[in-house]
Every structure is written in C-alpha cells, then in structure tokens.
C-alpha cells in the first residue's frame, strides 16, 4: 500500500475494503459498548482473518486471464484490399462521412441549411462523369494532371522536376492484370517537391542539411531568447540577479560570431558554453591546500593561523570545530582562540567542542600529547589582543628560544616548560559575527587581521542566501581594505560554505560568492556532525545548477 511504485498489486483496493468490513463487523459490539477507550485498551485477534482475506484477494487476482493481443488476421486492417484504398474523384470517403455524423448539433444545423446548395451542385456531376467515361484512362490521368498544375502553379514556373515526374509516371505499366497502376492509386495526392521551383533557391532537404552541418554563425538575436531563459533559470537556482546577468552577457560575447558545431542547436551551444564558464568560476587559479600549508609552517617552526569571519548565525563556531576535527584526524594539533568576546555563550560553546574533541581523540591515543586546547580570556576583552596572545602561546618555545628538535622527549623543553613541552601546529581564531554595515565592528575585525597577519582568512557564509551573498563579501573586503594600515591590505582568502545540506539543487550561492571574489570555496558544511565537512565538487555543483 505504501510503496505501489516499487511493487504494483492490483488487488490492494479490494483487500483494504474487505479488511475494513471484516474488522468492523467482527468487533461492532465491542466498539459500541466500550467506545473510544475500547479501541485504545482492547486486544484484537485478527491475524487469521487478515491472512484469509489476503489469500482470497491473491487468488481472485490470479483468476483473471491476461489479455491476449489480437493477431493480424483478426484485425480490421487485414480485411482491407488494394481496391478499397482507391479513391475516385467526386466520391466521398466513408470515414469522412462517418466523422461528420458525429459532430456537434450546431454544425449539423449549418449542414442542413447548406444541403439544398450541395444537392444542386451534385446535379452537374453525372454529366461530368459521363464525359470522363468517354475518354481513355490515360487521357483522364493527363487531364487531371493539367488541371492540378493550372490550380497550383503559375505560368512559366514548372520546374524540370515536374517534367521528370511526368515521364516517370507515364513509364509505369501494370505488372499483373487487375492490379491498378501507381498513378491510379495516388492521382489525388499532391506531388512531393524536393526542391524549390524558383531558380537559385535553396530549400527543402538541402536547406535543412545546411542548417545542421555547422555553416551558421551565431548572432546576438539568435542567442537572446535562450540567454533570457538561462538567466531566469540561474536566478531561480539562487544565483544573485546581478551575477546571472553578467554571466549571460559574458557567454553572449564569447559566442557571438562563432560557427556552430555539426548537428548542434543554439540552445545546446549556449548551454554548453555556460556550463564551462560556471566550472571555470568554481575552480579559481589559486587553490588553497590547507594541509600542505600547515606542513610548510611546521618546517619553519611556527603555527599555521586561520581566522574565521562572517555575519551572525552562519555557523562559524560549529564549522571551526569541524575543521579542528579534520585537522586532528590528519595528525595536527589545534589551539582554538576564543576571540568572540561579545556573544553570550560563545566561549562556553567552544569549551564544549574542545571537551568533545578531546574525548574523541584523548592524549593517550597520541603519546600523551593534547591534540586540541582552548585559549580564552572571557568576555568584554579586546579580540585582537586575545588572538595575539593565543598565537604566541601556540608557538614552539623553550626557556630562551625556539626548540629545534620538536621532540616529546626533549629534556630542554621538559625542563623549561614541564606542563607544555611543545607548541601547536594550527591556531584557529574564532571572531564575533557582525553585519557588513556595522562600521565599528568591521573596523575591529580589520584591526585583528592587520595586527596578527593570519596565514588564511576564511569568510563563513551560508548557502541559503542569494543577492545578500554579494553584498556581504563586497563590504567585508571593502572594510578590510579601508581599515588596513598596510600598502597591500589583507583581504578574504577563501570561503567556507555552510548549510549546504538544506538547499537541495539551489546551489547558486556558491557561484555568486566565487564570482564576486575570485576566491575558492575551501570547505563545505553538509550537516551537524564533525564528519559533515567536504571539499567542493565543481562539476557536481554545475550539474545540479543546470538541472531543470
């Protein structure tokens, strides 16, 4: 009953009705005496009855014999002969007469009024038929062809193909007595002209082939209807309207004047070009390889610093914890800097994540080494200062300098720092969520990035937004550039796209974010657990985007 598309059962409706009636009749008295409580508290021994009804329903479905297809000899078509296919001029086909009888009453009324006129016209037919009987069959055919050409062709426009057709028709001879010639069978049918009768004209079959084999250059007029549909489709898939217009415009400029490929249409050519452009947008030239960069920072004996920024409620802290789990799984230790000193509960949230991650990766599994630790100073403090202290805390240190051995058994490290004999491989800096229009908070974020110079600045945005994604990224980058003291200001390096599991195939935010910044999407959040973190598959996103 629940999965009829998987298993089609013809007796389901009958079975349900039978079970309903049987159950109602068997327990009618119990329902009337006890009411609703009888249904909730009563026990019903109905298994044997149900199995009996099921068997009966299955047997009844087997009794029905399957329908057998008619043979050709049993069909109406086999009764037709060649003679019944011949039509004589002036004689109405039986099917047409039958169809006219079935028409509405209104049309029947009009035919009744017009009947006298038809009758008078029919009076002239016998004399014409008598004239035809006096002529031979060849003369009748010749006369019919001349009348046809007089009606359908102007003087002087008969092509050589018509002359050729006449000679071919006249050359046919009956192969067997009693079998009509081809010109007798089809003399009422119009001739099939394979080319134009006008000199120099290219039409019919040749014109169609010429349009298919790739001799047409694309013009803007050809592409505009297709591009308009593509633009509306992209906007419906959550691509920002401004970005959709720019994409279609760039595709039009790229294809204008281009010769179409063999057996291709304008729609398929434009769609293919748009798909290639979208894949290219999602695969920027600069690729962010976090694991490679972390190992490079290890060789220079310093922690790799990542700063997270974005608007309120997009999932910065949650995805920071997911990235921490991913780094720990790859063997790197993580220090989390709680620099969101504004939102109530922000520090407690990170503390819970740290405790959970340490439970999944206890120090005993890593030779006594703590794989994740939280650095926090409470609320109301300067976020830039806390980030600087956390980065300094995460460095490899000894009593007077840097440990060049980075060994757990290094005696110098153990003597200098008995509680922490090594630094952390990665420092993840969590910041407070802020709207792009809040100037004081954007200034504070620009200060944090300018002072601490992180290796990677990640913008955390949710996949649910459309036009808002463009506004957020543009204003975040503008604020970082305006409030930076350096000649080459530090801007956003990559994107973390969250809540990707909530949008089905409306993946347009990925296009909008990468197009406006030319920065890659480094991580994609696809759920609520630590394992729900993926890298972006550009081709899969474009396929979902172009799906109708």
CB atoms within 10 A of CB 61: 14
- pLDDT value for 321: 95
Q: 305 has which bridge partners?
A: 427
Same domain flag for 227 and 346: no
Question: At 65, is the pLDDT very low, low, confident or very high (cuts 50, 70, 90)?
Answer: low
Inside any domain, residue 507: yes
What integer is the mean pLDDT of 19-44?
Answer: 77
Same domain for 256 and 338: no
Model confidence over 189-220: pLDDT tens digits? 444 333 333 444 444 444 544 444 455 788 89
CB-based contact 56:18 (threshold 8 Å): yes
Q: Please tell me the distance from the alpha carbon of residue 339 to that of residue 144, in angstroms, as a whole number.
A: 97
- The boundaries of the domain holding residue 233 are 218-282
d(CA 105, CA 103): 7
Instruction: Determine the average pLDDT of the residues in 3-18.
Output: 73
The reported pLDDT for the residue numbered 142 is 77
Residues 372, 449: one domain? Answer: yes
467, 333: one domain: yes
Instruction: Please report which confidence band the pLDDT of residue 172 belongs to, taking 50, 70 and 90 as the band edges.
Output: very low
Indicate if 242 and 304 belong to the same structural domain: no
Rounded to an integer, the average pLDDT of 334-363 is 93
Tokens of 444: 């504070």
Q: What is the pLDDT of residue 66?
A: 58
Report whether pLDDT(329) > 90: yes
Same domain, 271 and 310: no
Is pLDDT of 452 > 70? yes
The burial class, CB within 10 Å (0-12 / 13-18 / 19+), for 251 is buried
| Residue 358 to residue 65: CA distance in whole angstroms | 69
Q: How many domains does the chain have?
A: 3
Neighbours of 34 (CB within 10 A): 14
| Percentage of residues of the chain with pLDDT beyond 70 | 68
Q: Measured between alpha carbons, how far is 28 from 475 in angstroms, rounded to an integer?
A: 72
Q: Which of 282, 299, 325 is the last residue of a domain?
A: 282
Residue 70's pLDDT is 72
Can you give the pLDDT at residue 391? 92
State the average pLDDT over residues 386-404: 69
Is the pLDDT at 3 greater than 70? The verdict is no
CA 429 – CA 527 distance, rounded (Å): 22
3-state helix, strand, coil in the chain (%, to 5): 55, 5, 40
In three-state secondary structure terms, 524 is strand
User: Can you give the pTM of this predicted structure?
Assistant: 0.58
**pLDDT band (50, 70, 90) for residue 486:** confident
105 part of a folded domain: no
Q: Which of 171-175, 317-321, 442-446 ranks highest by mean pLDDT?
A: 317-321
467 and 528 part of one domain: yes
Phi, psi (deg, nearest 5) at residue 454: -65, 155
Handedness of CA 407, 409, 415, 421 (dihedral sign): positive
Using CA atoms of 400, 403, 409, 415 in order, give the dihedral in degrees to the nearest 10: 10
Q: Are the beta carbons of 213 and 206 closer than 8 angstroms?
A: no
- 258 plus 340 within the same structural domain: no
Question: Given a cut of 60, is residue 224 above it in pLDDT?
Answer: yes
Within a domain: residue 237? yes
Neighbours of 209 (CB within 10 A): 10
Residues 353, 272, single domain; the answer is: no
pLDDT at 17 over 50: yes
What is the rounded distance in angstroms from the CA atom of residue 486 to the CA atom of residue 501? 39
User: Are residue 241 and residue 304 in the same domain, yes or no?
Assistant: no
Q: Are residues 306 and 243 in the same domain?
A: no
Residue 511 lies in a domain: yes
The residue whose two tokens read 């028409």 is: 103
Evaluate if residue 430 carries a pLDDT over 50: yes
Residue 417, pLDDT > 60, answer no
- Does residue 264 sit within a domain? yes
Question: Residue 424 CB: number of other CB atoms within 10 A?
Answer: 25
Say if 70 falls within a structural domain.
Answer: no
With 60 as the cut, is the pLDDT of residue 398 above it? no
Question: How far apart are alpha carbons 155 and 145 in whole angstroms?
Answer: 15
Q: Tell me the C-alpha distance between 17 and 1, whole Å.
A: 13
Claim to verify: residue 313 and residue 435 sit in the same structural domain: yes
When the pLDDT of each residue in the chain is averaged and rounded to a whole number, the result is: 76
Write the pLDDT tens digit of every residue in 453-462.
Answer: 999 999 999 9
What CATH number is attached to the domain comprising 320?
A: 3.40.50.300
Instruction: Mean pLDDT check: name the lowest of 64-68, 287-291, 377-381, 410-414.
Output: 410-414
How far apart CA 428 and CA 337 sit, in angstroms, is 6
What Rg, from alpha-carbon coordinates, does the chain have?
42
Q: How many whole angstroms separate alpha carbon 180 and alpha carbon 191?
A: 19
- For the chain, counts of helices (H) and of strands (E): 22, 8
Alpha-helical regions (H) of 42-84: 47-63
Most confident listed range (69-78, 412-421, 539-548)? 539-548
DSSP 315-371: -HHHHHHHHHHHHHHTT--EEEEE---SSTTHHHHHHHHHHHHHHHS-GGGGTT---
459 inside domain: yes
Q: Is residue 166 part of a domain?
A: no
Query: What is the C-alpha to C-alpha distance for residues 172 and 281, in angstroms, rounded to an integer?
Result: 67
**Among the ranges given (179-193, 247-261, 457-471), the one the predictor scored with the smallest mean pLDDT:** 179-193
- Residue 227's pLDDT band (boundaries 50, 70, 90)? very high
Give mean pLDDT, residues 144-157. Answer: 65
| Digit-coded pLDDT (tens) for 257-316 | 888 876 788 898 899 999 999 999 998 777 889 999 999 998 988 999 999 999 998 999
CA pair distance 70, 76, nearest whole angstrom: 10
87 falls in which pLDDT band (50, 70, 90)? low
Residue 374 binned pLDDT confidence (cut-offs 50, 70, 90): very high
Please indicate whether residue 466 or residue 224 has the higher confidence score (pLDDT).
Answer: 224
């Amino acid at each position: 009953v629940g999965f009829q598309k998987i298993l089609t059962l013809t007796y389901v409706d009958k079975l349900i009705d039978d079970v309903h009636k049987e159950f109602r009749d068997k327990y009618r008295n119990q329902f009337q005496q006890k009411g609703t409580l009888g249904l909730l508290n009563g026990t019903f021994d109905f298994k044997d009855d149900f199995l009996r009804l099921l068997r009966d329903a299955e047997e009844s479905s087997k009794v029905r014999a399957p329908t057998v297809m008619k043979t050709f000899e049993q069909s109406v078509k086999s009764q037709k002969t060649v003679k019944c296919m011949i039509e004589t001029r002036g004689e109405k086909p039986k099917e047409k007469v039958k169809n006219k009888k079935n028409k509405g009453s209104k049309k029947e009324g009009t035919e009744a009024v017009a009947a006298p006129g038809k009758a008078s016209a029919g009076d002239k037919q016998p004399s014409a038929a008598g004239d035809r009987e006096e002529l031979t069959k060849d003369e009748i055919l010749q006369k019919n062809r001349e009348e046809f050409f007089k009606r359908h062709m102007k003087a002087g426009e008969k092509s050589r193909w018509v002359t050729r057709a006449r000679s071919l028709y006249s050359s046919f001879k009956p192969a067997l007595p009693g079998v009509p010639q081809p010109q007798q069978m089809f003399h009422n049918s119009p001739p099939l002209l394979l080319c134009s009768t006008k000199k120099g004209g290219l039409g019919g079959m040749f014109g169609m082939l010429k349009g298919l084999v790739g001799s047409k250059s694309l013009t803007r007029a050809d592409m505009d209807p297709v591009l308009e549909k593509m633009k509306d489709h992209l906007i419906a898939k959550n691509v920002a309207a401004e970005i959709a217009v720019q994409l279609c415009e760039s595709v039009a400029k790229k294809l204008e004047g281009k010769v179409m490929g063999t057996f291709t249409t304008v729609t398929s050519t434009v769609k293919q070009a748009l798909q290639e452009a979208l894949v290219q947008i999602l695969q920027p030239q600069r690729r962010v390889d976090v694991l490679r960069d972390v190992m490079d920072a290890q060789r220079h004996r310093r922690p790799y610093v990542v700063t997270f920024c974005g608007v309120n409620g997009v999932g910065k802290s949650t995805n920071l914890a997911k990235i921490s789990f991913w780094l720990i799984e790859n063997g790197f230790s993580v220090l989390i800097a709680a620099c969101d000193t504004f939102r109530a509960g922000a520090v407690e949230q990170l503390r819970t994540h740290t405790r959970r991650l340490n439970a999944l990766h206890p120090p005993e599994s890593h030779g006594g080494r703590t794989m994740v630790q939280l650095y926090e100073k409470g609320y109301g403090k300067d976020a830039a200062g806390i980030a600087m202290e956390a980065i300094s805390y995460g460095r490899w240190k000894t009593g007077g300098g840097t440990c060049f051995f980075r060994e757990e058994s290094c005696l110098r490290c153990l003597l200098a720092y008995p509680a922490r004999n090594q630094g952390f491989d990665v420092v993840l800096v969590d910041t407070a969520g802020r709207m792009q229009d809040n100037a004081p908070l954007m200034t504070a974020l620009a200060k944090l990035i300018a002072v601490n110079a992180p290796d990677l600045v990640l913008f955390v945005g949710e996949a649910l937004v459309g036009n808002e994604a463009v506004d957020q990224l543009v204003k975040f980058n503008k604020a970082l550039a305006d409030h930076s003291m350096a000649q080459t200001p530090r801007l956003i390096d990559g994107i973390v796209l969250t809540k990707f599991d909530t949008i089905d195939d409306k993946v347009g935010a990925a296009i909008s974010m990468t197009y406006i910044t030319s920065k890659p999407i480094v991580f994609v959040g696809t759920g609520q657990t630590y394992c729900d973190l993926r890298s972006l598959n550009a081709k899969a996103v474009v396929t979902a985007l172009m799906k109708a």
